Amino acid sequence: MKKSGLLNSNVSRIVASMGHTDWLVVSDAGFPCPLDVERIDLAVTANVPEFLPVLRTILGDLCIERVILASEIADFSPARLKEIAALVEPLAVELVPHLEFKKLSQRARAVIRTGDFTPYSNVILQSGVPYT
């Protein structure tokens, strides 16, 4: 058994298979997963698991170079926006309208669905490389 990091075998598999510029979505409980994108559903009940611990754990294993959020998060969940920005620092967060975010998510390798009920707690992570 793994001692730390990503323990969920499906999440670990996706992160390990990511290549440079591949996209991964981490979402709240209500995000509409595109039909042709793999869904890894971690949701158990309202706010279990929460979005931030799942995102934090994924960021511990995945090298990222780009972060995209729905612009509506600034109005509906400004505290969550600040929390996400702090987690991905020094990268800048890109904001796009939610409808565009949903279209972009169709390009993702997978959507990892949490049980979080905080509005617009959805992020697209673009995989980077740990070398330059």
Domain count, the chain: 1
Whole-model pTM over 0.95:
yes
| 1 assigned to some structural domain | no
Q: Are 11 and 114 in contact (CB under 8 A)?
A: no
* Chain centre distance of CA 12: 14
Enclosing domain of residue 111: 9-127
pLDDT tens by residue, 30-66: 999 999 999 999 999 999 999 999 999 999 999 999 9
Catalytic machinery residues: 20
Instruction: Say how far apart CA 2 and CA 9 lie, in whole Å.
Output: 10
CATH number, residue 104 = 3.40.1650.10
Q: Return the C-alpha torsion angle 125, 117, 119, 52, nearest 10.
A: -40
| 4 assigned to some structural domain | no
pLDDT tens by residue, 84-105: 999 999 999 999 999 999 999 9
| 2 assigned to some structural domain | no
| 104 assigned to some structural domain | yes
| 102 assigned to some structural domain | yes
pLDDT tens by residue, 1-28: 889 899 999 999 999 999 999 999 999 9
DSSP for residue 107: G
